[in-house]
Amino acid sequence: MKTEVKHDKNSTIVVVSGTVDALTAPELATVLAEQVADGHVNLIVNLVAVEFMSSAGLRTLLGAVKDSRSHGGDLRIASTNPGIEKVLKMSGFHTIAKVFASQDEAISSFGS
Amino acid sequence: MTSTHRITRAAHLESLNDFREFIKKQCARVPDINEEFLYDVQLAVDEACTNIMTHGYADLNPGSIILDLEIDPDELTVTLTDFGHSFEPSHTPIPDVDAPIEERALGGFGLFFILQSVDAMDYRVTEDGNKMILTKYLRKQLKENNEDRSET
């Protein structure tokens, strides 16, 4: 798994690639927690280049949604992989956080 | 014709990728297995192996997981064998996926995802280890593929 952090005007984008499983999810959790701790509370997690994500990744995202919201921000997702979409839907994640079909749409949702 | 394949790996998280790649490689030989079917099987195997690694072998010397994969024209079957602590699937709580975020536990999705991703799950404690048997029907997927084709 690789992560890349980019700061936009109103949000911070964490671009994730590779696989998010029980081995790699803690690394993603650290990256997201660091952003919130640094005051970047409006987060976009771009999962477009993620090939596989298990419940360990989902747990990380749920934790980061709670963390960002408790600091006055929000976490939104960009995802196109049907397998990951299914994981998000099975867990009811769609009812908790916003999921967009592209990074640009997620960025726009935080306002321009 | 039935094909059978086996992989054995140490029960630590570094092996998860090997198990997923093994499933991918073997499924690639079956032309009618689509991406969704593959993801479901990889997810079920990944979740089951993660549970064995983190709970099954907790407080024990690192053991192994044996994965036996059987593919026949009707179904794909994965049998995972481990020698750690067993568990009782019916005693595992099912997460409330409709609960608001404030009331949500972060974890507990492993077995739930397994049950959602395969058509049948059986768990047995035997003299030859704990065995989780995951079955996913290929016939059903082939029927769905054909229906998709006829719609386009």
Query: How many Å apart are CA A28 and CA A45, to the nearest integer?
Result: 10
Tokens of B98: 């409709």
Q: Is the pTM of this model over 0.80?
A: yes
Q: Backbone phi, then psi, for A56, in 5-degree steps?
A: -65, -40
Mean pLDDT of B23-27: 97
> What range defines the domain where residue B21 resides?
3-151
Cross-chain CB nearest to B39 (options A55, A62, A83): A83
Cross-chain CB nearest to B36 (options A69, A82, A96): A82
Whether the Cβ atoms of residue A17 and residue A52 lie closer than 8 Å to each other: no
Query: How many Å apart are CA A28 and CA A2, to the nearest integer?
Result: 9
Confidence category of residue A39, pLDDT binned at 50, 70, 90: very high
Query: How many Å apart are CA A21 and CA B17, to the nearest integer?
Result: 9
The helix/strand/coil state of A7 is strand
Compare all CA atoms of chain B with the CA of A66 and give the residue at the minimum distance. B101
User: Which pLDDT tens digit goes with each residue over B125-144?
Assistant: 999 999 999 999 998 766 67
* Cβ within 8 Å of B, A 17-36: 19, 21-23
Burial of residue B146 (number of CB atoms within 10 Å: 0-12, 13-18, 19+) = exposed
A98 in reach of chain B (CB within 8 A): no
A80 in reach of chain B (CB within 8 A): no
Cross-chain CB nearest to A62 (options B20, B46, B104): B104
Spatial CA neighbour of B87 closest among B113, B57, B128: B57
First to last CA, chain A: 30
Domain topology for A2-109: Transcription Regulator spoIIAA (3.30.750)
Mean pLDDT of B36-43: 97
Mean pLDDT of B53-68: 93
Whether the Cβ atoms of residue B135 and residue B123 lie closer than 8 Å to each other: no
Mean pLDDT of A42-54: 97
Whether the Cβ atoms of residue B77 and residue B133 lie closer than 8 Å to each other: yes
Burial of residue B63 (number of CB atoms within 10 Å: 0-12, 13-18, 19+) = middle
Domain count along chain B: 1
Instruction: Inspect the interface and report whether the beta carbons of B113 and A22 lie closer than 8 Å.
Output: no
Whether the Cβ atoms of residue B141 and residue B91 lie closer than 8 Å to each other: no
CATH of the domain at B129: 3.30.565.10
